[in-house]
Structure 1
Amino acid sequence: GAAILSAADWAESNGFTHIITLDADGQHNPEDTSRFVDLIKENPWTIIIGNRQFNNAVPFSSRFGRQFSNMWIWITTGWRVQDSQSGFRAYPVAALRQVNCRGRRYDFEVEILVRGVWAGLSIVYTDILVHYSDETKKASHFDPFQDNVRISRVYTWLVIRNFLPWPHKVLFNTDSKERLSILHPVRSFKLLIHESGSPKDMAFSSMLGIFMGTLPLISCHSIAIFFIATRLRLNRLVALSVSNICMPPFVPALALSVGYFIRHGRYLTEFNIQTLGYEAPQRLFEYLIGSLIVGPVLALFVGMIVYLLTMIYHNLRSSKGKDGHAG
């Protein structure tokens, strides 16, 4: 991180707009920089990442680490990245100078992606080959303990910050897409309808709606679902619609019954002013316990159904399109 920022200072003072970085352990081919140059011209306000094409020689730790890091990037930005740990990148110098990152070692590489997206940058990929050998492992300065602790600490704060209820500061207004506005309800509704409809996104949106709808967020379900779906770049209309499955009485009663059984070893059979009135705080706690069990199970079940239905729908549309062209 410190080396990249020093390079950005030098580049800015010498009139350069971008810098390209690559790992010095020999895993990257410097000739691939030509791919980055072409993409820089097309996408000046993006962070361009070399998507490493792994083969059998790549250590399992690298494969797992990449997928694990990709997941946290999605949670903090809503972007489904392909290789968040690749050091072969191109950065706009202005972004490195203006986006405030605390990390100065390997934690910088994940922090700049998250804060860069928050600031208004996008992420673009180009496939690159990667070479791993014993010499590559020896040349790395990555400390498995200290650097993983730093990265975990950064991710923890970024996740917390992403779900705090105030917007991120946009430094680069490069997104020309229309945004939701209460002043334009019709346009906003059309935007919601045309949000991402891939099978995976539809499934995750449904799972979010079900899980949040199961929780005892009395009178706050819609606000919470809309906020989290926005942060994760999921389909907000689908998440809100599917959450209606969890409306009383069935799902809340099921969650309460499960929570009561966990606490007392038996089911709640008496419904009167004592059990539902005077003991309401206890029932609410049991409702919460039960929802943390019922919610994930029901969300997974509904998510699988939505995924399969969306896949079938996309396949039918694709086959009809082919038939139309053939005719």
Structure 2
Amino acid sequence: MSLKTGVRNSIIDDICVLIPTYNNEKTLAGIIDGVLKHTKNVIVVNDGSSDCTAEILKKYEGEIYVLHIKKNKGKGNALRIGFKHAISLGFLYAITIDSDGQHFPSDIPFFIKELKNATDKKTLFIGARNMVQDGVPRKSSFGNKFSNFWYWVETGIKLSDTQSGFRLYPLAEIAKLHLYTVKFEFEIEVIVKAAWNDVKVKNIPIKVHYDQENRVSHFRPFKDFTRISILNTWLVCVTLFYIIPRNLYRRLKKKGIKRFFVEDFLHNYDSPKKKALSMALGTFIGISPFWGFHSVIVILLAIFFNLNKVIAFTFSNISLPPFIPFVVLASLYTGNFVLGQKTTFSIEDVKNSFEFLGHIEAYIIGSFSLATIASLVVGLIGFLFFSLFDKKKIVLKSG
């Protein structure tokens, strides 16, 4: 089916509204009618509905674009097909709106206004719902907070709503992404990978309505939550082992070693306190008994406490393989001291078939005690060093 869209003279003509739908016969017509009040550029993707959806859509022949998928494959798949069709029609942006009745088509002008006012036209806008208002299901509120947290971990960006399906996508930027998921988790994958590819992601406030009588949700709590959890696990791993190193390498290449060291490693604009706390955090985690997870833990905590990730990660590497026997030995002696025990150990004991479980209490207590002491000492030295460094920098600038 094709419609004549005419000559496009404004940004509004570059925007279509994309409605993925699956068995929402009670609310679909109301959503389409509401959208048509604001634009004629409407694409509905019928994701294999088995109710009266096809009959409802026949009433809009000649008014909207309709795509029918024979078998239901998921919201993500429907969105991907809709995006491709929108691009083939020459649209530059797509506003997606759910067909279950929770979104208000009257909010569409807010997305258009935000796009018009944006200095960066590549921005991806997500409608932020008021998740504390009456009528919002507790599981939806919890799921949103869960999603927001992991999005922050994966991108460093704090959003108030990452699960809303009411969005404005810059289609050219989305087309560049390598996307794999096809169900509800697609809406997480797309915004994470967009951020990784330097697309600005921003929330704008929208209204929301949860009609328990007419609204049909196809979210399966166990299956879909499991799929989302698996996706987030993968995205966190990619963040830690590819995205963060990639970004560091890009900044190093762009700035050169000296400028990178001063601005990114020392974080020239970070306060001495923040740098010192980053050193202390890295030292504490590096000595702690979380073997195999030091890097993951220190990066997550540095993000959570808004500390210098590079400094924290660097100092956590006190437990590199050559140093491990010495760290373990020092932890054992510290634990013995705290427990009042007099067992003696040597570095050879640690290296050669050491019966570790027989001294696990001393090791764990000693490990945390040593980590606390070392982090306090390192943090204090770091604070004094960076304070002196900052004073010298001020003197040089004033001179």
From 193, 196, 202, give the equivalent of 2:267.
193
Which residue of structure 1 aligns with residue 148 of structure 2?
70
Which residue of structure 1 aligns with residue 97 of structure 2?
22
Task: Quote the Cα distance in structure 2 between the aligned partners of 1:240 and 1:167.
Answer: 11
Letter in 1 for 2:144: R
Query: Helix, strand or coil for the counterpart of 2:121?
Result: coil
Query: Helix, strand or coil for the counterpart of 1:85?
Result: coil
Letter in 1 for 2:262: F
Letter in 2 for 1:214: I
Residue 256 of structure 1 deviates from its aligned partner by 3.8
CA 1:62–1:229: 2 relative to 1, 3 Å: closer
Which residue of structure 2 aligns with residue 175 of structure 1?
none
Which residue of structure 2 aligns with residue 122 of structure 1?
200
CA 1:272–1:146: 2 relative to 1, 3 Å: closer
Residue 149 of structure 1 deviates from its aligned partner by 2.2
Task: Quote the Cα distance in structure 1 between the aligned partners of 2:93 and 2:115.
Answer: 8
Which residue of structure 2 aligns with residue 239 of structure 1?
312
Task: Quote the Cα distance in structure 2 between the aligned partners of 1:203 and 1:140.
Answer: 49
Which residue of structure 2 aligns with residue 5 of structure 1?
80
Which residue of structure 2 aligns with residue 33 of structure 1?
108
Provide Cα deviations, 1:112-133, integer angstroms capped at 9, x if missing partner: 1111112221211111121123
Query: Helix, strand or coil for the counterpart of 1:163?
Result: helix
Which residue of structure 1 aligns with residue 218 of structure 2?
141
Task: Quote the Cα distance in structure 2 between the aligned partners of 1:146 and 1:128.
Answer: 28
Conserved? CA contact 2:279–2:311, under 8 Å:
yes
**Residue 99 (structure 1) aligned with residue 172 (structure 2):** no
Residue 183 of structure 1 deviates from its aligned partner by 2.2
Normalising by structure 1, report the TM-score: 0.67
Over alpha carbons, which structure has the higher Rg? 2
Residue 228 of structure 1 deviates from its aligned partner by 3.9
Task: Quote the Cα distance in structure 2 between the aligned partners of 1:121 and 1:59.
Answer: 31
Query: How many residues matched?
Result: 283
Task: Quote the Cα distance in structure 2 between the aligned partners of 1:83 and 1:252.
Answer: 44
Task: Quote the Cα distance in structure 1 between the aligned partners of 2:280 and 2:201.
Answer: 26
Provide Cα deviations, 1:198-223, integer angstroms capped at 9, x if missing partner: x9x989957852553324799xx9xx
Provide Cα deviations, 1:127-148, integer angstroms capped at 9, x if missing partner: 1121123136x41121222222
Query: Helix, strand or coil for the counterpart of 1:129?
Result: coil
Conserved? CA contact 1:205–1:229, under 8 Å:
no
Residue 86 of structure 1 deviates from its aligned partner by 1.1
Aligned identity (percent) is 32
CA 1:267–1:25: 2 relative to 1, 3 Å: farther
Conserved? CA contact 1:229–1:235, under 8 Å:
no
Provide Cα deviations, 1:162-190, integer angstroms capped at 9, x if missing partner: 222577889xxxxxxx9345724136413
Letter in 2 for 1:8: F
**Residue 269 (structure 1) aligned with residue 343 (structure 2):** yes
Which residue of structure 2 aligns with residue 311 of structure 1?
none
Task: Quote the Cα distance in structure 1 between the aligned partners of 2:362 and 2:110.
Answer: 52
**Residue 161 (structure 1) aligned with residue 238 (structure 2):** yes
Task: Quote the Cα distance in structure 2 between the aligned partners of 1:185 and 1:11.
Answer: 47
Task: Quote the Cα distance in structure 2 between the aligned partners of 1:90 and 1:196.
Answer: 35
Residue 107 of structure 1 deviates from its aligned partner by 0.8
Matched ranges for 1:221-236 at <5 A:
228=299, 232=303, 234-236=307-309
Which residue of structure 1 aligns with residue 251 of structure 2?
179
Residue 269 of structure 1 deviates from its aligned partner by 2.7
CA 1:73–1:282: 2 relative to 1, 3 Å: same
Task: Quote the Cα distance in structure 1 between the aligned partners of 2:351 and 2:171.
Answer: 62
| Unmatched 5+ stretches in structure 2 | 1-75, 380-399
Provide Cα deviations, 1:48-79, integer angstroms capped at 9, x if missing partner: 11111121321111111111111111222222
Query: Helix, strand or coil for the counterpart of 1:116?
Result: helix
Which residue of structure 2 aligns with residue 317 of structure 1?
none
Conserved? CA contact 2:328–2:350, under 8 Å:
no
Letter in 2 for 1:37: I
Conserved? CA contact 1:118–1:169, under 8 Å:
no
Residue 243 of structure 1 deviates from its aligned partner by 6.2
Task: Quote the Cα distance in structure 2 between the aligned partners of 1:190 and 1:89.
Answer: 35
Which residue of structure 2 aligns with residue 294 of structure 1?
368
Conserved? CA contact 1:76–1:114, under 8 Å:
yes
| Unmatched 5+ stretches in structure 1 | 171-177, 306-327
Which residue of structure 1 aligns with residue 137 of structure 2?
59
Task: Quote the Cα distance in structure 1 between the aligned partners of 2:365 and 2:121.
Answer: 46
Task: Quote the Cα distance in structure 2 between the aligned partners of 1:162 and 1:46.
Answer: 21
- Flag the structure with more relative contact order, 1 or 2, with Cα contacts below 8 A and sequence separation at least 6: 1
